[in-house]
Structures are given as C-alpha cells and as structure tokens.
Amino acid sequence: MKDLLRIADLTADDLTVLLELAARVEENPAFAHDLLSHRIVPMYFAKPSTRTRLSTAAAVARLGGTPVTVGPDELQLRRGETIADTARVMGSYAAAIVIRTFADTDVQELASAAPIPVVNALTDGHHPLQAVADLLTVEERFGTLRGHRIAYVGDGGNVARSLMEAAALAGMDVAVATPPGYEPPDEAIRFTATEADRNGGGFTLTTDPAEAVKNAGVVYTDVWLSMGDPKEEQARRRKALAPYQVDEQLMTCARRDAVFMHCLPAHRGEEVTARVIDGGRSLAFRQAANRLTAAQAVLYALLTDRLRGRR
C-alpha cells in the first residue's frame, strides 16, 4: 500500500499497525529519527490549516526530514501544468507528498502518477489522519476500542466519514446522528455497516441525537459550516443542525464516564457549548496533540511498506 488516501483503503490489521506505531512514537518521539535524513517532503495546502500543517511538518522533522510547504500560487499548476506532471517531478526530489485540497479526484490523480507515497491531509470527502489520531485518543482513554460505542452528531461530512470507517475497522459500536439530507455518503454507510459487523461492532444511523448518544463512551461533533459556504447556505445549515448541538443535556444521555471529542477548530455556541468543550470530559486538545504522533506513524508505515491495503 503506497498511499493513504482514505480510511476505507485500510484493512483492520492496517489500522492496528498504525495505532501500535502511534503508541510507540508517543513513548519515544525520536523513533526512526533518521528515516528521512537529507530528504524533503512537499506539503501542498490549498486550504487554510493549523493542526494538519504543523503536525505533519513536525512529524517530517521528527523523522529527520525537511518539510517544504507550498500553496497554489507557488507551483506551476495555476499556469496549466498537469497534476500528473507535478507528481512526477516531485517524485524525483522528495520522499513523500502530503496534500490538503478540495477534490478527491485531484489527490487520486496525484497518487496515481507519483512514484512516492501520497498522504491525504484532508479533502472534501475524507480526513484519514484525523481519524487515526481520534482512535488513538480513545484507546489511550479506555485502553481498548472494541466494545465501546462512539457517537457522531452533526453533519455527515469528511470527518464523520473517516471516523465511522475507522471505528468500524476497530470493531467499535458506531452511531451517527444527522439531519435528513446531511447523512454520510451511501458508500461510507455500506462500508461502515459491513466492517462493523465483520469486526464485532455495530452501526446505527439515525436522525435522533439522543438515540445515537445513548450508552456511548465517546460523543463527537464537528463544525457546521464548511470553508467558503455562501451566506444562504450558512443560514440553511445552521437551522438544520441547531437541534444537533452537543450540550450538557445531550451528554447526560451518554455513559457517566463518556468523553467529548472535536477535531477543531470549534465554534462555541454552534455545534458545541463552551461548557462541554472546555469542561473536564473534553479530549479535543488531546486529539490535537495526537495529530503529530498519528502523522508520524502514517509516514513511517508508508515509507517502510508496513500496510497491506485492500487489493
């Protein structure tokens, strides 16, 4: 498996490898510190980023390499050079490519042409690095993943999709609550249901946040508004998602020891109240810290051919 473009490309064993590597990195940040010695990793960011940009740059540096961050105006793509040509050129200089952009098809084209590993650092459809960090955070908290219920409440976008796919591979009980019309894609629903059943977990898709959160050990949400949403779309989304805010009342439907998770950035007063995200049950900032170890584990696994992938 050369690339990590989406969680659904992994097997359950692959996910276990990544989580074990991430735990190893957490114990020893200098693990494989010379793997990328004298090599660069271009990081292409077409979207603003805080956690992804800094965590992947730090991961490259920990592995002994030099991260080189570029944006749309710094490459020849805007002047008509193809993605495939760009990928081939990067492949002659670099050890791997990290890309955060909009269309999944662009990332697929880049990976297809690049002779080196490509890591999806967020697209409109997927956020695999976040999901690896999320499950690492849950595993740290509870000691295991299998048998725990994780409930996602809100918009079924890229974060929800990667999270539910990863949790299904880990054998968790996955529950997703979205308003009508905001469900995850059918492909993600089918994958999650199939893999949850195969790995000893379960899957629930509902429009009722309280039903999803019932008996959950983890309650997760994400922002309601995407980058660049027009004002009319923002108003429509706020109205549809208002009943899905995670507040203290909703948290009472979960287990007494349940934790709250959020991939950040957070909009207090919209998808979550300040009392929840800033309270003692919140793991949001532990998740953010784990983005570094997750990125380091993914890069190491791809560069050393540790992942089997689905063939």
Convert the pLDDT of each residue in 117-175 to its tens digit: 999 999 999 999 999 999 999 999 999 999 999 999 999 999 999 999 999 999 999 99
**CATH topology of 7-126+291-303 equal to that of 128-288?**
yes
Q: Which of 127, 161, 237, 262 is catalytic?
A: 127
Is residue 291 annotated as a catalytic residue, yes or no? yes
pLDDT score for 247: 98
Question: What is the C-alpha separation between 89 and 79, in angstroms, rounded?
Answer: 16
Identify whether 108 is a catalytic site residue: no
Enter the pTM of the model.
0.97
Band the pLDDT of 47: cuts 50, 70, 90.
very high
Distances in whole angstroms, Cα of residue 203 to Cα of each of 4, 125, 253, 302: 24, 20, 18, 29
Catalytic residue among 6, 62, 100, 262: 100
Is residue 302 over pLDDT 70? yes
- The single residue of 53, 126, 262, 291 carrying the catalytic annotation is 291
Mean pLDDT over residues 247-270, rounded? 98
Superfamily of 128-288 according to CATH: Aspartate/ornithine carbamoyltransferase (3.40.50.1370)
Q: How far apart are CA 35 and CA 125, in angstroms?
A: 30
pLDDT value at position 40? 98
Strand partners, 41: 67
pLDDT at 229: 78
- The residue-averaged pLDDT of 278-293 equals 98
pLDDT of residue 78: 87
- The third-level CATH classification (topology) of the domain covering 7-126+291-303 is Rossmann fold (3.40.50)
Say what the pLDDT of residue 227 is: 66
Round the average pLDDT of the chain to a whole number and report it. 97
Altogether, the residues listed in the chain come to a count of: 311
User: Which helix or strand (DSSP H or E) is residue 166 part of?
Assistant: helix 158-169
Q: Determine the pLDDT at residue 257.
A: 97
Whether 222 is a known active-site residue: answer: yes
Provide the percentage of residues in the chain whose pLDDT is more than 70: 99
286 is catalytic: no
Dump pLDDT digits (tens) for 183-196.
999 999 999 999 99
pLDDT at residue 226, as a whole number: 78
Q: Which candidate in 130, 245, 287, 296 is catalytic?
A: 130
263 is catalytic: yes
Nearest 5°: phi and psi at 72?
-55, -35
Which position among 222, 237, 262, 296 bears the catalytic label?
A: 222
**What integer pLDDT is reported at residue 170 of this predicted model?**
98
Per domain, the residue ranges of the chain are: 7-126+291-303, 128-288
